[in-house]
């Protein structure tokens, strides 16, 4: 069977794109491998109407709502390859063989590469965080650390003092210009140049960091900058144009439209800014743009 649209990726961006398309009475296949970036976070925050809910519960509700539309199909599967063919796109899948569609929506997500510090990876999404607006309030005003592994940390440093007393742990080789240094000082950020060698705390909790000189500094949360990579080879297989952001490359998209006609993209893999609300909104734009493309295909062939 050929679908009107295939949506690859079943988190907030993909779900929102699929909703627009099924409501336009289009036959939509969602292919989702289940490796969601937000699987490490116990709850989502700052997402209007969904505040303090587990991401898995939000996704389950969205899938239940999509399932009420007779033109929606979900395959728990991995899309291995994608290619453009006359009249649309052909995907090879790990479990279901293959699928074809007129348009393709990529909500591929990203994978994080974290600083290699003992105790950091297992706390990612819990007490090691990336977004002040997503998790800052829950720190409860306690002491906050920033692991400055890139100049991008200055952006977090300007924000985080509103959530608690902030210490910036500057990694070797990272520097800030005079303007950024003055801003951080004006915001009351303490600067620490001794390297962090270990995170301390029970389970996923955090009560401090140990420095290379043996000192410990109390922090209840640590913000870190990960490097990200698009979590699927489909974008490169299709030859989509990419843009470089502060954390890595993402798919270049305008209202969801990519450099290849008929292919649309949304979510973390198509933006330098990563946030549940932004991903959902981008999915809406990608879904409506894909619908317009389907109309044009009908009109002009």
Give the N- to C-terminal CA distance of the chain in Å, as an integer: 20
Last residue of a domain, which of 171, 192, 224?
Answer: 224
216 and 121 fall within a common domain: yes
257 and 189 fall within a common domain: no
107 and 29 fall within a common domain: yes
26 and 97 fall within a common domain: yes
Looking at the 3D structure of the chain, how many domains does it have? Answer: 2
Task: Residue 214: give the domain boundaries.
Answer: 115-224
Choose between 261 and 136: higher pLDDT: 261
pLDDT bucket at 300, cuts 50 / 70 / 90? low
Q: Which of 219, 205, 217 is nearest to 127 (CA)?
A: 205
Choose between 264 and 130: higher pLDDT: 264
The Cα–Cα gap between 58 and 50 comes to 7
pLDDT surpassing 90 at residue 223: yes
- Kindly report the CATH number assigned to the domain that includes residue 127: 3.50.50.60
136 and 83 fall within a common domain: no
38 and 81 fall within a common domain: yes
147 and 204 fall within a common domain: yes
30 and 98 fall within a common domain: yes
Last residue of a domain, which of 224, 244, 259?
Answer: 224
201 and 241 fall within a common domain: no
Structure tokens at 18: 């699929």
Q: What is the pLDDT of residues 20-43, one digit of tens each?
A: 999 999 999 999 998 887 777 778
pLDDT bucket at 301, cuts 50 / 70 / 90? low
3-class DSSP assignment, residue 152: coil
Q: Write down the pLDDT at residue 292.
A: 97
pLDDT surpassing 80 at residue 221: yes
Last residue of a domain, which of 174, 208, 224?
Answer: 224
Helices 276-300 + 12-23 axis angle, to 10: 40
The Cα–Cα gap between 3 and 259 comes to 22
84 and 157 fall within a common domain: no
157 and 235 fall within a common domain: no
129 and 162 fall within a common domain: yes
Cβ 155 vs Cβ 178: under 8 Å: no
Cβ 164 vs Cβ 139: under 8 Å: yes
């Amino acid at each position: 069977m050929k679908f009107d649209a295939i949506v690859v990726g079943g988190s907030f961006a993909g779900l929102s794109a699929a909703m627009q398309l099924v409501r336009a009475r289009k036959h939509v296949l969602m292919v989702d491998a289940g490796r969601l970036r937000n699987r490490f976070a116990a709850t989502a925050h700052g997402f209007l109407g969904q505040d303090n809910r587990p991401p898995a519960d939000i996704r389950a509700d969205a899938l239940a709502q999509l399932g009420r539309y007779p033109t929606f199909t979900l395959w728990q599967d991995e899309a291995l390859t994608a290619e453009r063919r006359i009249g649309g796109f052909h995907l090879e899948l790990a479990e279901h063989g293959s699928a074809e569609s007129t348009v393709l929506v990529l909500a591929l997500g990203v994978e994080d590469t974290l600083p290699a510090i003992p105790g950091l990876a297992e706390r990612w999404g819990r007490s090691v965080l990336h977004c002040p607006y997503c998790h800052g309030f829950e720190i409860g005003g306690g002491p906050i650390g920033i692991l400055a592994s890139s100049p991008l940390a200055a952006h977090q440093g300007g924000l985080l003092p509103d959530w608690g007393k902030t210490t910036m742990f500057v990694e070797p080789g990272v520097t800030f210009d005079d303007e950024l240094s003055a801003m951080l000082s004006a915001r009351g950020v303490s600067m620490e140049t001794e390297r962090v060698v270990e995170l301390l705390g029970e389970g996923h909790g955090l009560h401090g960091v140990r420095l290379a000189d043996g000192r410990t500094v109390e922090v209840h949360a640590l913000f870190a900058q990960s490097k990200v990579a698009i979590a699927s080879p489909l974008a490169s297989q299709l030859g989509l144009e990419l843009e470089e952001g502060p954390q890595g490359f993402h798919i270049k998209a305008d209202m969801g439209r990519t450099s290849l006609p008929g292919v649309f993209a949304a979510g973390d893999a198509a933006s330098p800014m990563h946030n549940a609300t932004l991903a959902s909104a981008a999915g809406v734009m990608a879904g409506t743009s894909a619908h317009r493309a389907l109309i044009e295909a009908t009109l002009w062939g």
